[in-house]
Structure 1
Amino acid sequence: MKAIIFRDHGGPEVLQLVERDRPGPGPGEVRVRVAVSGVNPADGQARSGIGHRRPFPEITPHLDGAGVVDAVGDGVDPSRIGRRVWLYMAAAGRPTGTAAEFTVVPADQAVPLPDEAGFDVGASLGVPALTAHRALTVAEDGPRRLHPGALDGRVVLAAGGAGAVGHAVIQLARWAGATVIATVSGPEKAELAAAAGAHHTINYREGDPAAAIRAIAPDGADIVAEVALGANLALDLAVLRTRGTIATYANEGGRAVELNVGQTMVRNARLQFLVLYTAGPRARAAAVRDGALPVGEEHGLPLLRFPLHRTADAHRAMEAGAVGKVLVDVAP
């Protein structure tokens, strides 16, 4: 089989296309013929060594993907063979990510993909959708799982609404019944956030974004899903309602976080940090069955595609700030 590997940490140039034997599934595992592999910032961090060690001599990258189960290990129902699935956390603590024609994962990390959902949708779930689901379910008074009506009457602020996680936050929050406000950096990204389902978009580079948000939600936002905590914390606190939650999954720009303890304390605010590697049991994106997580530019998430042999270029595009979801087409 063809696979992408890296043996040393570094830039995209460390990624190599090689021929390898097909891996065999062990007990409790399934082997998946990968159709599409999704690229996330976490994949670039793992490749470059940021916050990661390299526990194996060589690693096939990428946490997310979609394809068809073609073999199962002991203890796994053989009827799963031939089933379409989406994969998450495939390369987490394992050498077999989804940037290969075949990969092996624990059976519960190969989630059934409804027939009406394409492989592009499946490969775009994983990190973005699970991060978004967690961000929307960590509030003190909030639901622990999302479903239609779970966020009725709530206001969700999606920071960076045109990003992959921001896009999933918008879609899931709207599906669950929230009023969704997205902050964006310009009109093109506002169009993407609106296409994803945001009820309101606010350009944070113009005017007084806190006043604009408060005009829409006078009592403030119940949940802020935050991508750049250092840059946006002052705005978040200015629009957070009492007992509200800021769920932060990234700190884009790397700015130091300066916390006004008194303001935060009086607000009884919750500041929730999250990362999937240590998040515990992970919720499944049940919204897929309801068609609530479509992808493509018409749904607010443009797709940037690369063939398997150009995986390094896919990483370069992702790290250059490509707007949308970067995908690698593995199957011909």
Structure 2
Amino acid sequence: MRAALYRRNGRASDVLEIVDLEVPDPGPGEVRVRIVTSGINPTDWKTRDGHAGRVPDGFQVPHHDGSGVVDAIGPGVDHLAPGQRVWLYLSAFGNRYGTAAEHALVPAERVVPLPDDASHELGACLGVPALTAAHCLGGDPNDLSGTTVLVAGGAGAVGHFAIELAKHAGAYVVATVSSAAKRDLAIAAGADTVVLYTDPDAVEQILAANGPVDRVVEVALADNLALDLAVVAPGATIATYAAAGELAIPASDFMVNNLSLTFTLLYGLTPEQMAAAVRWTSEAVAAGSLTALPIHPYALEQIAAAQDRVAENPVGKVLLQVGAP
């Protein structure tokens, strides 16, 4: 099979190569998937670059997310069958066969059925962004019905799916964005109200939309914490998935209003938490409630350029078109 891989950490153009690998056979609890589309996330290029501190064990085929068709199943796998359309998540986590190849070999629990009416592009967009969004939203759609959710960065990948998952669950969604073009994307995703967070009256606009918010999905906690605290209802939760560096917390504001602050990194979720996020995402896909992000397509041979494009933080999703549907 054709595969992209790297044998050491470093710049994309220095370490990524296209090679011929023997197609691996699935062992107990494993599934081999013929990849149609491979999705690239920031964590993919950061791991390759060495930011995660993980050195390849011989070689690493990168990329967590993707979509394709089940090619073979190992002993003990009874919820999937050869020929079934699927989407994958965290494929390269603790596993050398990610989705940047004609075949991926992954643990069966990371392979999810993809409905016939859902595109492979949508399947490859799910994974890290959609599951992160589902967990930030609390993991259970029944808890969101009738609430108000604020999604910071509504045009980003996680923000896009946070809007759609929250709407699927019956919430009123307010999204913040940085430009008029991004406002259009958030509206297309289904946000009820979209606010430019740079507006001097952004707080007033958010509160005027549907009152104080019950949950915040936050992309830039340090920058937006003051705004979040100004618009949340007592007992609200602020869930962030992209915090970095030092952060000063006004403890009294959290204490007086019984607020919660949670942090999400998919790698650390319990099996039960991950299963809940997968279940919610799958239900929303089956209902037709999730849509693909704007796509930036690349060929497998262009993986270095594709990963560099992701590092530039484009609006939309960078995908490798690997095989035929």
How would you bin the TM-score normalised by the shorter chain? over 0.9
SS at match of 2:45: helix
Name the counterpart of 1:257.
247
Give CA deviations for 1:92-130 in whole Å, capped at 9, x if unaligned: 111110000001011121111111111111111110111
Name the counterpart of 1:236.
228
Write the distance in 1 (CA, Å) between the matches of 2:80 and 2:254.
52
TM normalised by structure 2 equals: 0.94
Task: Tell me the CA shift for residue 4 of structure 1.
Answer: 0.7
SS at match of 2:216: strand
Q: Which runs of 5+ in 1 are unaligned?
A: 138-143, 296-300
SS at match of 1:80: coil
Write the distance in 1 (CA, Å) between the matches of 2:11 and 2:219.
23
Decide which moves more: 2-11 or 47-56: 47-56
Aligned length: 316
Task: Tell me the CA shift for residue 160 of structure 1.
Answer: 0.3
Q: Is the 8 A contact 2:34 2:102 kept in 1?
A: yes
Name the counterpart of 1:170.
163
Give the partner amino acid of 2:155.
A
Identity of counterpart residues, as a percentage?
Answer: 48
Instruction: Describe how 1:287-302 pairs up with structure 2 within 5 A.
Output: 287-295=284-292, 301-302=293-294
Q: Is the 8 A contact 2:39 2:319 kept in 1?
A: yes
Q: Is the 8 A contact 2:9 2:56 kept in 1?
A: no
SS at match of 2:141: coil
Name the counterpart of 2:90.
89
Give the partner amino acid of 1:12.
A
Of 194, 197, 201 in structure 2, the residue corresponding to residue 208 of structure 1 is 201
Name the counterpart of 2:265.
275
Of 299, 305, 308 in structure 2, the residue corresponding to residue 313 of structure 1 is 305
Write the distance in 1 (CA, Å) between the matches of 2:79 and 2:192.
45
Task: Tell me the CA shift for residue 152 of structure 1.
Answer: 2.0
Q: Is the 8 A contact 1:38 1:65 kept in 2?
A: yes
Task: Tell me the CA shift for residue 257 of structure 1.
Answer: 1.9
Decide which moves more: 191-200 or 3-12: 3-12
Give the partner amino acid of 1:248.
T
Write the distance in 2 (CA, Å) between the matches of 1:215 and 1:77.
51
SS at match of 2:252: helix
Name the counterpart of 1:58.
59
Q: Which runs of 5+ in 2 are unaligned?
A: none
Task: Tell me the CA shift for residue 78 of structure 1.
Answer: 9.3
Q: Is the 8 A contact 2:90 2:110 kept in 1?
A: yes
SS at match of 2:32: strand
Write the distance in 1 (CA, Å) between the matches of 2:80 and 2:285.
22
Name the counterpart of 1:11.
11
Task: Tell me the CA shift for residue 28 of structure 1.
Answer: 1.0
Task: Tell me the CA shift for residue 264 of structure 1.
Answer: 1.6
Decide which moves more: 40-49 or 186-195: 40-49
Name the counterpart of 2:2.
2
SS at match of 1:46: helix
TM-align CA RMSD: 1.4
Give the partner amino acid of 1:63.
H
Give runs of ≥4 in structure 1 deviating > 3 Å.
none
From the two aligned structures, give the one with the greater helix fraction: 2
Task: Tell me the CA shift for residue 208 of structure 1.
Answer: 2.0
Task: Tell me the CA shift for residue 51 of structure 1.
Answer: 2.5
Write the distance in 2 (CA, Å) between the matches of 1:223 and 1:52.
33
SS at match of 2:261: strand
Write the distance in 2 (CA, Å) between the matches of 1:79 and 1:235.
45
| Pair 1:185 & 2:186 matched | no
Write the distance in 2 (CA, Å) between the matches of 1:173 and 1:96.
33
Name the counterpart of 1:140.
none
Write the distance in 1 (CA, Å) between the matches of 2:98 and 2:285.
22
Task: Tell me the CA shift for residue 55 of structure 1.
Answer: 4.8
Q: Is the 8 A contact 2:172 2:210 kept in 1?
A: no
Write the distance in 2 (CA, Å) between the matches of 1:54 and 1:266.
45
Q: Is the 8 A contact 2:152 2:177 kept in 1?
A: yes
Write the distance in 2 (CA, Å) between the matches of 1:290 and 1:97.
28
Give the partner amino acid of 2:196.
N
Write the distance in 1 (CA, Å) between the matches of 2:78 and 2:169.
33
TM normalised by structure 1 equals: 0.92
Task: Tell me the CA shift for residue 75 of structure 1.
Answer: 1.9
Name the counterpart of 1:161.
154
